[in-house]
Amino acid sequence: MTPANENKRGFLFLQGPHGPFYAELSQHLEDLGHKTWRVAFNQGDVAFWKNKKTLIRYTEPLTEWANYFRELVKSKKITDIVLYGDTREIHATAVLHAKRLNLTVHVFEEGYLRPYWVTYERNGSNGNSRLMDMSVAQLREMTKRLKEKQFLPPAHWGDTRHHVFYGALYHWFVMFANLRFPNFTPHRKTTAAQEFKWHLRRLYRRPFHSLLR
């Protein structure tokens, strides 16, 4: 990040991981002198954003999102957008227009080495990653030039308890407190109620699976 007295930027957070990560990241950026804003598309997004003065509730149909996004970038003097996964329709539309407006696009994703890692890339991830345009030989050469110490990945899976807790809390808000977002459409075809049913069934069967293993 840049020093607090240089290159003030405006960060617009779209949908992110369940939990306090976005709020904590935005606070670090604010401490460095930057401006941050958050677009909430449902009540789950609202719940995890601490500074309600910088919260923007989007309640319009998805068809209006592109125009809304462009006006928001202009009115809030946005220079960077931050999002989690770049293929859901909300994010894909934002990335398309952000690149046209020469904004910096920061993409977090669940990671190439799940479930322990969350990855960060500029402009795109997975199929949209710059890695897709590089050969294995180029990747090896870039790795050799890295000056930072390389850390080996951990020899164990990540702890998923926080993920489960925050995911359940997020979907509770979406299922039972989402009246202010009548036009919200999840990016997955599976509804929150269906996912809850499946996870409850997995939890019920876990002791039996443990015995079989």
Give the CATH number of the domain where residue 121 resides. 3.40.50
Q: Is the peptide bond before 207 cis (omega within 30 degrees of 0)?
A: no
Residue 54 lies in a domain: yes
Q: Is residue 114 part of a domain?
A: yes
Residue 59 inside a domain? The answer is yes
Is the residue at 152 inside a domain?
no
Most confident of 1-5, 68-72, 124-128: 68-72
d(CA 143, CA 122): 18
Domain around 102: 6-135+157-213
Categorize the per-residue pLDDT at 112 as very low, low, confident or very high, splitting at 50, 70 and 90: confident
> Quick one: pLDDT at residue 4?
44
In a domain, 143, yes or no: no
CA atoms within 13 Å, Cβ hemisphere of 92? 7
Domain total for the chain?
Answer: 1
Residue scoring higher pLDDT (56 or 125)? 56
* Structure confidence at residue 117 (pLDDT): 74
In a domain, 141, yes or no: no
DSSP annotation string for 9-40? -EEEE-S--SSSHHHHHHHHHHHTT-EEEEEE
Answer whether residue 190 is part of any domain.
Answer: yes
- Indicate the pLDDT class of residue 150, thresholds 50, 70 and 90: low
Question: Measuring CA to CA, how many Å separate 165 from each of 127, 145, 160, 162, 203?
Answer: 29, 40, 9, 5, 13
Q: What is the pLDDT of residue 1?
A: 44
Residue 191 one-letter amino acid: T
Inside any domain, residue 144: no
Instruction: Name the DSSP class of 7.
Output: -
Give the chain's mean pLDDT.
Answer: 86
Does the pLDDT of residue 11 top 70, yes or no?
yes
In the chain, which ranges are continuous DSSP H helix? Answer: 21-31, 43-47, 65-75, 89-100, 136-145, 161-176, 192-212
pLDDT grade for 5, boundaries at 50, 70 and 90 = very low
